[in-house]
């Protein structure tokens, strides 16, 4: 797995820039160059930068206060700052640079070995920071983390309408006796990971797992509308996922797990407990009632209380189950079995997934990316000709992966990343219909399909331009178009180049153009040397050098072949 990092160099001295590029270029370092603090602001507004190198001796370096302001303004986009200086002449300036937020310094003239060692140290710290942030994000809600970062604490919060989802696997204790521990944990991880993905789509917050139980919350840590409806849509998708897994297992004569789900809405208190080990939790009768609703649920069904049904009755179909007793507390509660969304509010008219209008009502993304992705992947699986062995599904998924990596390092926002990934998934869909001039066919399929998943005209136009930019005779203009083209040819600078290119040769031969070894080498050399270009700063940094190495290797092979012949 590649470990990549953006390194910003603020220095107007071209000699310094060239020297630093030579010393720390490569090894996953994406070098961004600018000559002033003002230009650095522009870069940091968009990109996350792991290491900043700033020449405080430069005539264009404004002041220590401006450096301090830069680091303070973009504190969430910067991590480690190193100042470049000539110690003998500017010792006091160095101290002020360290006071402004820098963590280290580099002496001039440059010592390559020392610079490389320092960069590797701070890269290692940056990757550790990223991992810690990821772990904290998995443990605590985003709003809680923001409060902790800003105020050092999170005050308990009381809400009148908190929605609790409670799930539990049927006969888990009995199943756990007959399954090896490692297999049991992997099975739980499989289901809980899918539940995590589902609740994230509906902006519902996972609270915790307790053995085989899974608890999630809506209406407390997020600002999206219709928390009860969102929670119930998440519960429906969790239940349907479990039913699908059950049906597949039965068909294959395998063991399967079943589930019960309960949902209730009411007052509760949310807060953090612990001083050394933080835990976000919720308390109140609402939690207990949601657990009781789950216990009274039928197998692979969802039981919701009357308070929930009153909120969502215009959008769902449910069956009245009557009143059931509430253990320990006493009394009864009126419950319903939640069956499905009403057809007029579902994506396919089958009651399963919310349509665009319902998603907008809940103020979640109007674009249903996950179901769009599943749809196009299934189309490619089913309809791509067997002879298409290079432009196949594996290539499409590799391009999507490359696009995500490039987009993250280029600082794309959530909407831009969504559009780029969509273009990557559709960019070779035209091969379903024809081998030559396939881009237009892919665009037509995309334009016909995407509106159903909530994409608007402006989004579709941008995706169209990205797909068409991948045609051989086209030159990408916008950053998104450039990233699409770079992702499409990411393999040209990867270690698996020869494996991938051999598939391309075989595919080309199948569709009518058989090449001798000499012709194939000439074809590759011509493309790498004359026809292909990487466009984005990130792709140039991480792929250009290896691509040039491939080119030299191919030229050497061509020369050796000429000698033999």
Indicate which CATH number applies to the domain containing 259. Answer: 3.30.70.1230
Assess if residue 550 is contained within a domain: yes
Q: Among the three residues 308, 342, 361, which one is the final residue of a domain in this structure?
A: 361
Question: For the segment 486-537, what is each residue's pLDDT rounded down to a tens digit?
Answer: 999 999 999 999 999 999 999 999 998 999 999 999 999 999 999 999 999 9
Assess if residue 146 is contained within a domain: no
What pLDDT shows up at residue 193?
A: 94
Is residue 357 domain-shared with residue 376, that is, in the same domain?
Answer: no
Assess if residue 144 is contained within a domain: no
Is residue 222 domain-shared with residue 297, that is, in the same domain?
Answer: yes
CATH number of the domain bearing residue 379: 1.10.3210.10
Q: Name residue, tokens 């068909």.
A: 251
Cα dihedral 120, 123, 125, 128 sign = negative
CA-CA distance, 418 to 143, in Å (whole number)?
23
CATH number of the domain bearing residue 67: 3.40.50.2300
Is residue 310 domain-shared with residue 421, that is, in the same domain?
Answer: no
C-beta of residue 105 within 8 angstroms of C-beta of residue 82: yes
What pLDDT shows up at residue 141?
A: 81
CA-CA distance, 264 to 282, in Å (whole number)?
13
Mean of the pLDDT values across residues 476-494? 97
Q: Among the three residues 326, 342, 361, which one is the final residue of a domain in this structure?
A: 361
Tell me the two tokens of residue 282: 């919720």
Assess if residue 206 is contained within a domain: yes
- Distance set, CA 247 to CA 242, 250, 338 (Å): 9, 5, 20
CA-CA distance, 293 to 289, in Å (whole number)?
6
Question: For the segment 339-396, what is each residue's pLDDT rounded down to a tens digit?
Answer: 999 999 998 888 888 998 999 999 998 899 999 999 999 999 999 999 999 999 999 9
Residue that wins the pLDDT comparison between 334 and 273: 334
Q: Kindly report the length of the chain.
A: 565
Assess if residue 346 is contained within a domain: yes
Report residue 157: phi and psi, to 5°: -125, 130
- Distance set, CA 507 to CA 386, 396, 469 (Å): 10, 15, 22
Assess if residue 147 is contained within a domain: no
Indicate the pairing of strand 5-10 with strand 29-34: parallel
> What band does 565 get if pLDDT is binned at 50, 70 and 90?
low
Is residue 218 domain-shared with residue 250, that is, in the same domain?
Answer: yes
Alpha carbon 409 to chain centroid, angstroms: 12
Is residue 468 domain-shared with residue 502, that is, in the same domain?
Answer: yes
Is residue 390 domain-shared with residue 537, that is, in the same domain?
Answer: yes
> Residue 277 above 90 pLDDT?
no
Is residue 171 domain-shared with residue 72, that is, in the same domain?
Answer: no
Residue 364 CB coordination number (10 Å):
21
What pLDDT shows up at residue 87?
A: 65
Structural domain for 123, as ranges: 5-138
Upper half-sphere CA count for residue 441 (Cβ side, 13 Å): 12
Is residue 418 domain-shared with residue 275, that is, in the same domain?
Answer: no
Question: For the segment 283-320, what is each residue's pLDDT rounded down to a tens digit?
Answer: 999 999 999 999 999 999 999 999 999 999 999 999 99
Assess if residue 81 is contained within a domain: yes
Domains in the chain, number: 3
Is residue 344 domain-shared with residue 478, that is, in the same domain?
Answer: no
Q: Among the three residues 138, 168, 190, which one is the final residue of a domain in this structure?
A: 138
Is residue 392 domain-shared with residue 497, that is, in the same domain?
Answer: yes
C-beta of residue 484 within 8 angstroms of C-beta of residue 467: yes
Strand ranges for 306-402 from DSSP E: 316-325, 332-341
Percent of the chain with pLDDT over 90: 72
Is residue 461 domain-shared with residue 356, that is, in the same domain?
Answer: no
Assess if residue 149 is contained within a domain: no
Is residue 389 domain-shared with residue 438, that is, in the same domain?
Answer: yes
């Amino acid at each position: 797995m590649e470990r990549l990092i953006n390194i910003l160099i603020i220095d107007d001295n071209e000699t310094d820039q060239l020297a630093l590029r030579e010393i720390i270029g490569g090894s996953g370092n994406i070098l961004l160059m600018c000559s002033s603090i003002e230009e650095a602001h522009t870069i940091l507004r968009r990109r996350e930068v792991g290491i900043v190198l700033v020449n405080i001796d430069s005539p264009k370096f404004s002041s220590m206060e401006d450096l301090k302001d830069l680091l303070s303004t973009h504190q969430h986009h910067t991590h480690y700052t190193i100042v470049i200086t000539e110690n003998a002449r500017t010792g006091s300036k160095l101290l002020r640079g360290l006071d402004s937020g820098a963590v280290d310094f580099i002496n001039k003239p440059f010592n390559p070995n020392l610079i490389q060692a320092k960069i590797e140290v701070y890269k290692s710290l940056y990757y550790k920071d990223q991992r810690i942030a990821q772990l904290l994000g998995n443990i605590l809600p985003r709003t809680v983390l923001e409060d902790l970062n800003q105020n050092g604490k999170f005050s308990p919060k009381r809400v009148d309408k908190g929605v609790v989802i409670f799930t539990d696997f049927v006969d888990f204790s009995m199943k756990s006796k007959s399954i090896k521990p490692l297999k049991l944990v992997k099975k739980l991880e499989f289901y809980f990971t899918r539940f995590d993905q589902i609740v994230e789509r509906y902006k519902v917050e996972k609270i915790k797992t307790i053995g085989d139980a899974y608890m999630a919350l809506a209406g407390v840590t997020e600002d999206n509308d219709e928390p009860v409806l969102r929670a119930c849509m998440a519960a429906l998708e969790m239940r349907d996922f479990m039913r699908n897994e059950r049906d597949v297992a039965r068909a294959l004569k395998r063991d399967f797990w079943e589930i019960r789900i309960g949902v209730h809405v009411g007052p509760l208190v949310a807060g953090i407990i612990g001083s050394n080990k933080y835990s976000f939790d919720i308390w109140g009768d609402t939690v207990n009632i949601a657990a009781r609703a789950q216990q009274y649920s039928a197998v692979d069904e969802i039981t919701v209380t009357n308070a929930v049904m009153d909120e969502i009755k215009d959008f769902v179909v449910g069956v009245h189950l009557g009143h059931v007793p509430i253990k320990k507390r006493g009394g009864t509660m009126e419950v319903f079995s939640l069956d499905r969304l009403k057809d007029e509010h579902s994506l396919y008219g089958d009651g399963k997934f919310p349509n665009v209008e319902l998603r907008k009502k809940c103020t979640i993304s109007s674009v249903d990316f996950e179901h769009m992705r599943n749809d196009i992947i299934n189309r490619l699986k089913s309809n791509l000709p067997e002879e298409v062995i290079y432009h196949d599904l594996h290539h499409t998924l590799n391009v999507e992966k490359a696009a995500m990596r490039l987009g993250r390092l280029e600082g794309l926002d959530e909407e831009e990343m969504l559009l780029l990934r969509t273009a990557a998934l559709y960019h070779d869909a035209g091969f379903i219909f024809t081998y030559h001039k396939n881009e237009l066919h892919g665009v037509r399929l995309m334009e016909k399909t995407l509106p159903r998943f909530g994409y608007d005209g402006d989004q579709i136009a941008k995706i169209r331009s990205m797909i068409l930019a991948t045609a051989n005779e086209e030159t990408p203009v916008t950053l998104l178009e450039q990233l699409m083209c770079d992702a499409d040819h990411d393999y040209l600078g990867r270690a698996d180049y020869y494996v991938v290119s051999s598939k391309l040769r075989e595919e080309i031969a199948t569709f009518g153009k058989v090449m001798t070894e000499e012709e194939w080498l000439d074809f590759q050399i011509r493309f790498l040397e004359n026809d292909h270009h990487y466009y984005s700063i990130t792709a140039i940094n991480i792929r250009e050098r290896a691509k040039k190495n491939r080119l030299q290797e191919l030229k050497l092979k061509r020369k050796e072949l000429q000698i033999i012949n």
